[in-house]
Amino acid sequence: MGIPLTLIGESVFSRCLSAQKDLRVKASQTLVGKTPDFKGDKQQFIDDLENAIYGAKIISYAQGYDLMMEAAKEYGWNLNYGGIALMWRGGCIIRSRFLGDIKKAFDNNPALENLLLDPFFKNAVESAEESWRRVCSTALLNGIPVPAITSALGYYDGFRSERLPANLLQAQRDYFGAHQYERLDSPRGKFFHTDWTGRGGSTASTTYDV
């Protein structure tokens, strides 16, 4: 579907890595890395961790709903997104308290494109952001793997960015495969090809549309 399920995918990969217990035990005896050495405020970090998990949890729902919405377009489904949230709360392992807030979000705006654009979830993620960044940076500096939380933060930063490096990727593809690229100073859909080395001629392949 072309939907960036970064946190959901990373969660699955984390379970796969966890299952490689014997291999990880062997690796732990060979590979050297950072040993945790936390010297900060313990209670502050616990509070930060609560906020970070809350922020990442919202991202997981935002990504899941993004996939459902795209699947609904692809297959012609008429999904009741608010009703789905209440269905989870009523008979599933997923019984988060804010499932009711998801229902409210779609009641307030049935055409809501992403949960992060709803005022409640927007404010919740923004309130968690600083704690979230502290947790991710602290974990990385101490060699503690938190792939789902960091992936969720990366998605948030990417989602809120007007400009991402896809044009650079296009240019790189044009360099090694003559696939053409768009330029920031030209309208979208207008493609260019550059003879980067002086030996490529004017041959161009298909475009890379993003």
pTM for the full model? 0.84
Q: Compute the distance between CA of residue 188 and CA of residue 207 in angstroms, rounded to an integer.
A: 12
In a domain, 146, yes or no: yes
Same-domain pairing of 105 and 51: yes
Please check whether residues 63 and 151 belong to one and the same domain.
Answer: yes
Does 94 lie in the same domain as 173? no
Residues 109 and 67 reside in one and the same domain: yes
CB 127 within 8 A of CB 52: no
Answer yes or no: do 172 and 149 share one domain.
no
The parent domain of residue 209 ranges over 166-210
CATH number of residue 194's parent domain: 1.20.5.320
Tallying the residues shown for the chain, one arrives at: 210
Q: How many structural domains are present in the chain?
A: 2
Low-confidence ranges of the chain (pLDDT < 50): none
Q: Residue 95's pLDDT is what?
A: 66
Cα–Cα distance for residue pair 42/166, rounded to 1 Å: 40
Beta pairing partners, 131: none
176 and 145 in a common domain: no
SS3 content of the chain, % helix, strand, coil (to 5): 60, 0, 40
CA contacts within 13 A on the Cβ side of 171: 8
Which pLDDT does position 202 carry in this prediction?
A: 62
Helix (H) or strand (E) holding 198: none
Separation of alpha carbons 13 and 151, rounded Å:
12
What pLDDT does 152 receive?
97
The answer to whether the beta carbons of residues 51 and 128 sit under 8 Å apart is yes
Q: Are residues 104 and 178 in the same domain?
A: no
Helices (H), 20-80: 21-28, 42-75
Q: Are residues 127 and 180 in the same domain?
A: no
**155 and 84 in one domain?**
yes
